[in-house]
Amino acid sequence: MIFLSPEDLGINKDYSSSEVIFQDKLFTRGPDFSKKDVDAAIGFCEKYLHQGSYLLVDNKFYVSIWLQIRKSKDSITEKVSQVEPEFIRFCELKLSAFIGPIAAFMCEDVLNENPGITKTELVKTLASYIPETHRAIAFQEQIGSF
């Protein structure tokens, strides 16, 4: 884990960048945490991002987590024979409404760790990343409409 300033990443003053290259690695913006919750941000990284590289960027009023993008989405879907690429994209889209832009990273991580995963297992695993039980259930119900 590395704490950086936005300037260290070359982020514009308006902080509108969603992807940056740092030390020849591509990172995408993940969730933000209040400066009072830096410990929660670190805990989030340790709990959910155990296999990925990430950066913590110290902005003026909050801390942003930036996640390393390891592979293209096309290489992920090639490994998963039981789950169609359209279903994976649908899950990412629905999950992003619950946990933000980190959803794509979570889907990638789950698929890379479980190459033969079924649709049902994928949905249950992704729902486990949603902290509130009632929201996790809502996510599962939305996916059921696919």
Tens of pLDDT, residue by residue over 27-37, are 777 788 888 88
* Measured distance CA(80)–CA(63) in Å, rounded: 34
DSSP code of 62? E
Cα separation values, 60 from 6, 9, 10, 87, Å: 9, 15, 15, 38
> Backbone dihedral region of 100: left (phi > 0), alpha (psi from -120 to 50 degrees) or beta?
left
Q: Which of 40-54, 101-115, 117-131 has the highest mean pLDDT?
A: 117-131
The ranges assigned to domains in the chain are 2-68, 73-143
Q: Could you read off the pLDDT of 4-25 as tens digits, one per residue? A: 877 777 776 555 567 777 777 7
Is the pTM here over 0.95, yes or no?
Answer: no
DSSP 114-142: -TT--HHHHHHHHHTTSSSHHHHHHHHHH
What is the distance between the terminal CA atoms of the chain, rounded to a whole angstrom? Answer: 37
